[in-house]
């Protein structure tokens, strides 16, 4: 009987807590309203960039410490990066303070809506306003239609969204702008207050829209920009305390646009480059660090000579050309390797540990990486490795054996999916190292020489015996 009473108390307490949290979320939504919202959607590339400006007001009586962003479930899976900042000052003195953004769940979310929470630096008191700048990146959000095209056809794609911003808050006024790569737009959804001028489609302004308003729209337009997607990229960063940092990158590249149908004519492609393969691409630009050396570019067949390297004191641009142009659905695999001076990337922390400071992401410009694996190979004898990355990644350790290794080298492995150029940020790998281990390989090398090489006196004696015979 006592057990049943205890169980009943637990159920009642859980019911009260769940309803209190629901009331807290609903009251928070009622306490905030958006005075003005402006959204700009950039469709000029296959990577969709959305810039959102929100002016938020606290209309309630209690302070509010977070602002929620809402997304439909069909769109949230395409979000590769989401950043938010608080606008401080006006005009020339305006500055932006980064804010923390995390995914969150709300009970009883309508239509399986997904949310992200923006944490404010200071709670927004009653009657106060704040202006937020939000940038989020969408990948694989453009749908080729038709799904297959021949060599001479242009590529048309669909983009689906809403003319009205999905939000858990009441919005007094809002406007959405959609920019296309060119004026070649096949069709777009016309709703109330729709205008088009050149490459821009404008929806709004709309006033006094309740929470969770939604108005689906579709834009069908021409986009012949390279749909370069790296299905998998493995970057190996090997540290040598003898002064070199060796980078080896294994690419599995594909064209993620409309699939190519029919035969490929090399003659038409070369004689009519503007129309004989307008949706294909044959050049890629890799932005490498400055002071790069010993650059290689090869595939399974061997070295590929169609590359050009330009070096200055700020960066190194490597322009590569695959063995054949890539049309929709075509793939290519290749390897890029290069060396860097260790002194530019390896430092010592105040606690005596060493750390590598390198750039996360993919060097190829305007490229989506479905799966990125970075392997940082530490010198043999390194201990206590740890990685500091400015966003969430999967981490684990491996062991690699190279020439003259005894115990093997510790490898810090970082994995992330859906990587875009906005992820090209510095990360650090810390580790402890005793310099005495630098003598291990030279000592092993000289010991092997003593074992393999025949002493000179014995060699002369053997030659004398052979001569007598």
Same domain? For 190 and 233 the reply is no
Tokens for 447? 């010991």
Same domain? For 203 and 108 the reply is yes
Asked if residue 77 is part of any domain, the answer here is yes
Asked if residue 55 is part of any domain, the answer here is yes
Domain boundary, last residue among 207, 222, 237: 222
Into how many domains does the chain fold? 2
Entry pTM: 0.85
277 or 36, which is more confident? 36
Asked if residue 182 is part of any domain, the answer here is yes
* Averaged pLDDT of the chain: 87
Asked if residue 420 is part of any domain, the answer here is yes
User: DSSP letter at 14?
Assistant: H
CATH code where residue 369 lies: 2.60.40.1730
Domain holding 166, by residue range, is 32-222
For residue 429, pLDDT beyond 50: yes
| 17 three-state secondary structure | helix
- Asked if 326 and 280 count as a contact pair (C-beta separation under 8 A), the reply is yes
Quick one: how many helices (H) and strands (E) in the chain?
A: 5, 30
pLDDT digits (tens, 9 = 90+) for 446-469: 555 555 554 555 444 544 544 444
For residue 293, pLDDT beyond 50: yes
Taking the C-alpha atoms of residue 149 and residue 158, their distance in angstroms, rounded to an integer, is 15
Same domain? For 193 and 304 the reply is no
Taking the C-alpha atoms of residue 295 and residue 116, their distance in angstroms, rounded to an integer, is 42
pLDDT band at 127 (very low <50, low <70, confident <90, very high): very high
Q: Which residues pair with 395 in a beta bridge?
A: 414
Same domain? For 250 and 184 the reply is no
CATH code where residue 77 lies: 2.60.40
For residue 166, pLDDT beyond 80: yes
Asked if residue 110 is part of any domain, the answer here is yes
Same domain? For 124 and 50 the reply is yes
Percent with pLDDT over 70 in the chain: 85
pLDDT band at 401 (very low <50, low <70, confident <90, very high): confident
pLDDT digits (tens, 9 = 90+) for 98-108: 999 999 998 88
pLDDT band at 281 (very low <50, low <70, confident <90, very high): confident
Same domain? For 202 and 251 the reply is no
Asked if residue 337 is part of any domain, the answer here is yes
Q: Tally Cβ neighbours within 10 Å of residue 123.
A: 12
Rounded alpha-carbon distances, angstroms, from residue 89 to 93, 101, 168, 212, 375: 6, 22, 27, 31, 43
Same domain? For 200 and 273 the reply is no
User: DSSP letter at 179?
Assistant: E
First-to-last alpha carbon distance for the chain, in angstroms, is: 106
Asked if residue 451 is part of any domain, the answer here is no
Same domain? For 142 and 44 the reply is yes
Domain boundary, last residue among 170, 189, 222: 222
User: DSSP letter at 459?
Assistant: H
| Mean pLDDT value across residues 252-273 | 86
Tokens for 368? 């989506």
Taking the C-alpha atoms of residue 163 and residue 48, their distance in angstroms, rounded to an integer, is 16
Q: Are strands 32-42 and 95-104 parallel, antiparallel or unpaired?
A: unpaired
Q: Which helix (H) or strand (E) holds 450?
A: helix 440-452
Taking the C-alpha atoms of residue 238 and residue 248, their distance in angstroms, rounded to an integer, is 8
Asked if residue 458 is part of any domain, the answer here is no
Same domain? For 198 and 313 the reply is no
Percent with pLDDT over 90 in the chain: 69
| 231 three-state secondary structure | strand
Measured over all CA atoms, what is the biggest interatomic distance in the chain, rounded to whole angstroms? Answer: 110
For residue 77, pLDDT beyond 70: yes
Same domain? For 235 and 164 the reply is no
pLDDT of residue 451: 53
Domain boundary, last residue among 222, 254, 286: 222
Same domain? For 170 and 47 the reply is yes
Taking the C-alpha atoms of residue 11 and residue 31, their distance in angstroms, rounded to an integer, is 30
Same domain? For 332 and 292 the reply is yes
């Amino acid at each position: 009987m006592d057990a049943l009473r205890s169980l009943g108390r637990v159920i009642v307490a859980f019911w009260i807590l769940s309803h209190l949290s629901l009331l807290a979320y609903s009251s928070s939504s009622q306490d905030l309203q958006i005075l003005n919202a402006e959204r700009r959607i950039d469709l000029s590339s296959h990577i969709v960039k959305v810039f959102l400006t929100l002016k938020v007001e606290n209309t309630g009586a209690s302070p509010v410490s977070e602002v929620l962003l809402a997304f439909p479930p069909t769109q949230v899976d395409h979000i590769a990066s989401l950043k938010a900042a608080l606008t401080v000052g006006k005009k020339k003195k305006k500055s932006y303070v980064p804010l923390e953004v995390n995914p969150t769940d709300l009970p009883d979310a309508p239509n399986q809506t997904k949310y992200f929470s923006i944490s404010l630096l200071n709670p927004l008191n009653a009657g106060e306003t704040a202006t937020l700048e939000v940038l989020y990146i969408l990948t694989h959000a453009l749908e080729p239609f038709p799904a297959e095209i021949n060599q001479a056809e242009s590529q048309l794609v669909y983009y689906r969204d809403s003319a009205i911003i999905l939000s858990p808050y009441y919005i007094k006024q809002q406007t959405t702008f959609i920019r296309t790569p060119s004026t070649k737009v096949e069709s777009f959804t016309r709703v109330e207050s729709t205008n088009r001028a050149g490459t821009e489609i404008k929806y709004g302004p709309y006033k006094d829209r309740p929470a969770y308003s939604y108005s689906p729209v579709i834009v069908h337009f021409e986009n012949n920009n390279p749909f370069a997607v790296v299905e998998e990229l493995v970057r190996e960063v090997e540290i040598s305390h003898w002064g070199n940092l060796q980078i080896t990158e294994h690419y599995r590249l594909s064209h993620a646009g409309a699939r190519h149908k029919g035969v490929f004519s090399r003659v038409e492609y070369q004689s009519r480059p503007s129309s004989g393969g307008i949706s294909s691409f044959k050049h890629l630009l890799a932005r490498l660090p400055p002071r790069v050396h010993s650059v290689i570019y090869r595939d399974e067949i061997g070295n590929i000579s169609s590359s050009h390297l330009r070096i200055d004191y700020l960066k190194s641009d490597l322009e590569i050309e695959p063995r054949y142009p890539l049309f929709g659905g075509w793939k290519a695999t290749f390897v890029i390797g290069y060396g860097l001076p260790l002194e530019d990337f390896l430092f010592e922390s105040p606690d005596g540990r060493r750390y590598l400071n390198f750039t996360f992401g993919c060097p190829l410009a305007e490229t989506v990486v479905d799966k990125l694996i970075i392997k940082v190979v530490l010198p043999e004898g390194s201990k206590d490795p740890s990685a500091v990355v400015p966003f969430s990644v999967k981490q684990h350790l491996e062991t690699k054996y190279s020439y003259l290794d005894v115990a093997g080298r510790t490898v810090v492995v970082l994995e992330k999916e859906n990587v875009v150029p906005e992820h090209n940020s510095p990360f650090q790998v810390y580790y402890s190292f005793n310099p005495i281990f630098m003598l291990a390989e030279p000592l092993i090398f000289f010991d092997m020489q003593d074992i393999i090489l025949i002493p000179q006196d014995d060699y002369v004696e053997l030659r004398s015996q052979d001569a007598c015979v």
